[in-house]
Amino acid sequence: MITLSGLTKRYGTVTAVDGLDLTITPGRVTGFLGPNGAGKSTTMRMILGLDRPTAGQALVNGKRYEELRHPLREVGALLDAKALHPGRTARNHLLSMARSNGIARQRVDEVLEAVGLTSVAGRRVGLFSLGMGQRLGIAGALLGDPDVLIFDEPVNGLDPDGVRWVRSIARSLAEEGRTVFLSSHLMSEMQQTADQVVVIGKGKLIADTPVLELIERSSLGTVRVRVPDPADRADLVGRITAAGFGAELTADDAMIVRSATPEQVGDLAHEAGIRLHELRLQEPSLEEAYMELTSDSVEYGTARSANVTGGWDA
Domain identity same for 100 and 128 = yes
For residue 307, pLDDT beyond 60 = no
| DSSP three-state, residue 97 | helix
Q: How far is residue 74 CA from its own chain's centroid? A: 23
Domain identity same for 184 and 200 = yes
Q: Which domain holds residue 252?
A: 218-293
- Candidate ranges 127-136, 140-149, 279-288; pick with highest mean pLDDT: 140-149
DSSP 70: S
Domain identity same for 65 and 195 = yes
pLDDT at 40: 95
| DSSP three-state, residue 89 | strand
What pLDDT digit, counting tens, does each position of 191-212 carry? 999 999 999 999 999 999 999 8
Q: What is the mean pLDDT of residues 155-166?
A: 88
Domain identity same for 151 and 227 = no
Strand order in the sheet with 254-258: 246-249, 254-258, 222-226, 278-282
What pLDDT digit, counting tens, does each position of 144-153 carry? 999 999 999 9
pLDDT at 312: 37
CATH number, domain containing residue 113 = 3.40.50.300
User: Which sign, positive or negative, has the C-alpha torsion 155, 159, 162, 164?
Assistant: positive
Domain identity same for 49 and 136 = yes
What pLDDT digit, counting tens, does each position of 55-95 carry? 999 999 999 999 999 999 999 999 988 888 899 999 999 99
pLDDT band at 220 (very low <50, low <70, confident <90, very high): low
pLDDT at 306: 39
What is the spatial distance between Cα 130 and Cα 128, in angstroms, rounded to a whole number? Answer: 7
Query: Where a domain ends, among 163, 183, 210?
Result: 210
Domain identity same for 128 and 275 = no
What pLDDT digit, counting tens, does each position of 11-33 carry? 999 999 999 999 999 999 999 99
Domain identity same for 172 and 278 = no
Number of domains in the chain: 2
Domain identity same for 137 and 271 = no
On whether residue 205 sits in a domain, the answer given is yes
247 contacts 258 by C-beta, under 8 angstroms: yes
Domain identity same for 171 and 231 = no
If one counts every other C-beta atom within 10 angstroms of the C-beta of residue 176, the result is 11
pTM above 0.85, yes or no: no
On whether residue 47 sits in a domain, the answer given is yes
Counting residues of the chain whose pLDDT is more than 70, the rounded percentage is 93
